[in-house]
Chain A
Amino acid sequence: MKFPYSETVLEHFRHPRNVGKIENPDGKATEGSPACGDMVAVYIDVDPKTKTIADIKFESYGCASNIATGSIITELAKGKTLDEAKKITWKEASEALGGLPKIKVHCSVLAVEGLRSAIQNYEERHGLVKEQKPTTVEVIRQRLKKVINPLTGLNVVRTNIVRDIEIKDGTVRVLVDIPQDHQFAHAIKEDITERIEPLWDVKKLVVEFTE
């Protein structure tokens, strides 16, 4: 039999390590979207003394590359310090898997981003963001690029449905150009909240719709 993946990829695909969910995790993140395709969720528990990743789990709604990368990334990250884990690249994950097809980068990169976002989520929730740069419109815009518009499968910034971003005294106001009663209004609002609220200087987030 001939399969399109390396033996290591197939092994991780068949028997993914560290699969599941951590209840009340110290940090968590979801990357991707069911609307655009693959999706991965990463959960971490952190040893507060050593700042190392004590436990890590992942869930995947994705193809073989997505599952295998999720699996290998948890193995690579476990026991590492947050700073070390943050530096794990897609290339390292891919090499550890014995290589991934180029066309599959976009599905596998989600797991790497998921790990970084989960660490970031932990640091933000625990006041560990070192350089506390003030949140600017550009910072918000960058974060919103990870919010996928389920209608198009593209991010809300690229598809121009973010009409306006305003920051005033710690309150961030995001104006989204879809009706309030739109089928995906709730999902998009939740996604935006998840990405913006953890920012250290954001006291309040208001997501508004145009109609």
Chain B
Amino acid sequence: MSDRVVYLDNAAATRLDERVLEAMTPYFFDTYAVATSEFGYSQGIEAREVLDGAREALADALGASPEELIFTSGSTESSNIALKGVALALGKKKGKHMIVSKIEDFPVLYSSQALEKQGFQVTYLDVDGDGFVDLDRLRDSMTNETILVSIQHANQEIGTIQDIEGIGRICREKGVLFHTDATHTFARVALDVKNIPVDLATVSAHTIHGPKGTGGLYIRQGTQIAKWVDGGFQEFNLRAGLENIAGAVGFAKAVELVTPEETKRLQEMRDRLIDRILAEIPNSTLNGHRWKRLPQNANVTFHFVEGESITLHLDMRGFAVSTGSACFSRSLEGSHVIFGIGGDHERAHGSIRFTFGRYNTMEDVDAVLQASAEIVQELRSISPLGKNKEKEEG
């Protein structure tokens, strides 16, 4: 067993950057007061100013104004507020129909299912083999009753980046609100709300070396959305609850630390891993689009072997990755994303997701490639499947 851990599950959570912690620390020990109004006491006024500063920085990263960004406890809450808030505001006034893609992450999918139980109708749009939503099909699915389209910016598992500009234009044309879950793209893939007609966007700190439990929701000015986290008047009276000043500061710092150079470096690691796997490990298939994908995401199916066996072997050698295999999931269901792109149980069974972050290096890429190749070969040697094919191609 190796002492060194090569962490390649950065889509799930990232290591906090020390500089983020440093920026946050004063707001636990020095300025810990609640953010008061401008007529409060000194520490509260200072907290208010710090919160406003963080909000401004984050809004800026999206091309938005500060009043258009609310802080939340993370992307799960943001997407819940978006879907349920719009449903509550427009369900009685305009209609009860929503459109989401089949491969959305769970906050959007399960919010949709929860709304269906409340009498809403939801269209779950098919995606193609790479994970793309078809724009014509989207347009055809809209009715006079449609109040919201929620289609992710990029996919959490296979990394495919949607044409959200095209999607947004159609929504704008039809007068339908558009929410995008930008959890995995924020700060790394451009999303400027001045140019892209998106009305609501979910963002989070946990994917960019910021603190867990801090997220945001962009809400375009004038968007009809109802408050349903009730309590105080915080966050422009849209989301009640004591403000997480340290979290907000950490989130803003995390965004500041993401640079185009770093994102380019992640992309180089991604490309090297994908190219080497496809060239050097026979019977492997890339999941998601080769180029229109998250810079930090590689997802591959190794045929004839099972994903949990691969992840456990990798774990014993000090590598952390994730799989879409049913054996790995709590629900014992294979990845809905792999099924969504037309894959079968077998493709989900052997799928492995590698996601890169700030603390990975090119050496990690080569090391995980080497380990994966050995493990896959070993597991294939005990698998009853694929023996002949292996001989032909290997």
* Interface SS majority for chain B: loop
The answer to whether B382 touches A19 (Cβ under 8 A) is yes
Q: Which residue of A lies closest to B386 (CB)?
A: A61
Contact pick for B385, options A3, A36, A61, A65, CB 8 Å: A61
Q: Which of B73-81, B248-256, B343-351 contacts A (4 or more CB under 8 A)?
A: B343-351
Asked if A38 meets B306 with Cβ closer than 8 Å, knowing A1-B315, A14-B316, A59-B382, the reply is: yes
Asked whether A150 lies within 8 Å of B344 as measured between CB atoms, the reply is yes
Residue B308 interfacial (CB < 8 Å): yes
Tell me the chain B residues, 190-236 only, with Cβ under 8 Å from chain A. Answer: none
- Interface majority SS (helix, strand, loop, mixed), chain A: mixed
Cβ contact within 8 Å between B383 and A61: yes
A61-B305, A61-B306, A64-B308 are known contacts. Are A37 and B345 too (CB-CB below 8 A)? yes
Interface string of B320-337 (1 = CB under 8 A from A): 000001111000101000
**In the complex, which residue of chain A has the Cβ closest to the Cβ of B383?**
A61
The contact of B384 among A36, A61, A64, by CB within 8 Å, is A61
Point out the residue from B309, B315, B345 that lies within 8 Å of A36, measured CB to CB: B345
* Given contact pairs A19-B382, A59-B382, A61-B384, A153 touches B316 in the complex (Cβ within 8 A): no
Contact mask for chain B residues 272-313; partner A; CB cutoff 8 A; 1 contact, 0 none: 000000000000000000000000000000001111110011
Residue-wise, chain B 61-104 has the 8 Å CB interface mask toward A (1 for contact) of 00000000000000000000000000000000000000000000
CA distance A159 to B344 in the complex (A): 17
Q: Which residues of B have CB within 8 Å of A63?
A: 306-309, 312, 325, 327-328
A64: chain B residues at CB < 8 Å are: 308-309, 312
Report the minimum CB–CB distance from A149 to chain B (whole Å): 11
The number of chain A residues touching the other chain, given as a range, is 20 to 34
User: Do residues B309 and A62 form an inter-chain contact, with CB atoms below 8 A?
Assistant: yes
Across-interface contacts of A111 in B (CB, < 8 A): none
Does A122 make an interface contact (CB < 8 A)? no
Q: Are A38 and B327 in touch, CB under 8 angstroms?
A: yes
B residues less than 8 Å from A13 (CB atoms)? 309, 312
- Give the Cβ gap from B346 to chain A, nearest Cβ, in Å: 5
CB distance from B128 to the nearest CB of A (A): 19
Determine the chain A residues whose CB is within 8 A of the CB of B345 once the complex forms: 34-37, 150, 153
When chains A and B are docked, how far (Å) is the Cα of A169 from the Cα of B154?
A: 61
Cα separation A103 to B308 with both chains bound (whole Å): 14
A106 to chain B, nearest CB (A): 8
By a CB distance below 8 angstroms, the chain B residues around A36 are 345
Q: How far is the CA of A66 from the CA of B313 in the complex (A)?
A: 14
Q: How far is the CA of A153 from the CA of B218 in the complex (A)?
A: 41
A67 an interface residue at 8 Å Cβ cutoff? yes
If A1-B1, A61-B304, A150-B344 touch, whether A30 touches B384 (CB-CB below 8 Å) is yes
Q: Which residues of B contact A3 (CB under 8 A)?
A: 312, 315-316
Query: Residue A20 contacts which of B307, B315, B327, B382 (CB distance < 8 angstroms)?
Result: B382
A16 to B, closest residue via Cβ? B382
User: Is A41 on the interface with B (CB-CB < 8 A)?
Assistant: yes
In the bound complex, do residue A37 and residue B327 qualify as a contact, i.e. CB atoms below 8 Å apart?
yes
Task: Judge whether B332 and A39 touch: CB under 8 Å.
Answer: no
Closest chain-A Cβ to B180's Cβ sits at a distance in Å of 32
| A41 near B346: Cβ-Cβ < 8 Å | no
Rounded to whole Å, the gap between the CB of A72 and the closest CB of chain B is 14
Q: Which residue of A lies closest to B348 (CB)?
A: A37
| Residues in A neighbouring B305, C-beta threshold 8 A | 61
Please give, as numbers and ranges, the residues of chain A lying within 8 Å of B332 by CB-CB distance: 103, 106
B114: min CB distance to chain A, Å: 25
Establish whether residues B312 and A39, one from each chain, have CB atoms under 8 Å apart when the complex forms. Answer: no
Given the complex of chains A and B, what is the CA–CA distance between A64 and B312 in angstroms? 8
Asked if B312 contacts A37 (CB within 8 A), the reply is no
In the bound complex, CA of A106 to CA of B238 (Å): 46
Determine which residue in B327, B332, B346 has the highest number of CB atoms from chain A within 10 A of its CB, and name it.
Answer: B327
- What 1/0 flags go to B367-394 for Cβ under 8 Å of A? 0000000000000011111000000000
Cβ A59 vs Cβ B384 within 8 A: yes
- The contact string, 1 if C-beta is below 8 Å from chain B, for chain A 101-123, is 00110110000000000000000
Chain B: which residue is nearest A148 at the CB level? B345
Using a CB–CB cutoff of 8 Å, the interface residues on chain A facing chain B are 1, 3, 5, 10, 13-14, 16, 19-21, 30, 34-41, 59-67, 103-104, 106-107, 150, 153
User: Other than the known A38-B306, A41-B384, A62-B309, what 5 A-B pairs have Cβ atoms closer than 8 Å?
Assistant: A10-B316, A13-B312, A61-B305, A67-B382, A106-B332
What are 21 A-B pairs at a CB distance below 8 A? A1-B315, A3-B312, A3-B315, A14-B313, A19-B381, A30-B384, A37-B326, A39-B384, A39-B385, A41-B384, A60-B382, A61-B304, A61-B306, A61-B385, A62-B327, A63-B312, A63-B327, A65-B327, A67-B309, A150-B345, A153-B345
